[in-house]
Amino acid sequence: MAAAPGDIRLVLGLGNPGEEYEKTRHNAGYATIDVLADEAGVRYWKSQAGMMVAEAAIKGRSVLLAKPQTYMNEVGGPISKLMKQLKIAPEETLVVHDDVDVPEGTFRLKFGGGHDGHNGLRSIINKLGSRDFMRLRFGVGRPPGKMSVATYALRPLKGAQLESFEVSAHDAAGIVEEAIAQGFGKAAQRWA
C-alpha cells in the first residue's frame, strides 16, 4: 500500500549554515523556518542530531521546527538521525526547499516524488530510504542567461531581490501553517 501524508509533526527547512549563505535563494527553507519560529514566539533552540531544533505551537498544534547544520548535500544524515530519535515517520515530515523549476514567488505542495537534481532532497531520500515525505517547493525561478544554477542559488540577495525573497518566506510560512491547520491533503489541492 502506498504511503499517504500524515499529520505534520516535523517541519524541516533546508539551507546552508553560515553567514555567507544567510541571504541566498538556497536558504529558502531556513528563511521559512525562521518566520514560523518568529510568529510562534519561539525563544529556545537546541542542538540535536546535528540540527537546530525548536518546539513551536502552530495553529494550536505542537510541531518541531528544524534546520540541519550541515551543508545541503549532507543533510540526510542528521535528518534521518533526528527522525529515528524522535520516532517521526517520513510521511509526518514536511521539507521546505528552494526549487528553480518553480517560478519565483510561487509555491507547490507535493507528497513524494524524486529529487529533481536537488542535492538536499537526494541526500534525504538516500538516507531515509524513502521518498514518502511532504515537500513545500519554494519557487526561486531559473537563473538568467548563462548563469549556473549554483551561482544563482548561492549569490547573496540585496535590495529589491532580498525584499521580494523575504516576502516569499512569509508566504511560504503561511502555506506551512495552512497545511498544519487544514491537513496536507486539503492544502495541497490549493497549492498543487
> 3-state DSSP call for residue 99?
strand
Q: How far is Cα of residue 173 from the mean position of the Cα atoms in its chain?
A: 10
Cβ atoms of 124 and 73 within 8 Å: the answer is: no
Residue type, 130: S
Closest CA to 107 of 165, 154, 175: 175
User: What is the Cα–Cα distance from 123 to 73, expressed in whole angstroms?
Assistant: 6
Find the catalytic residue in 26, 115, 118, 170. 26
Query: Is-catalytic flag, 118?
Result: no
Residue type, 92: E
Active-site residue set? 26
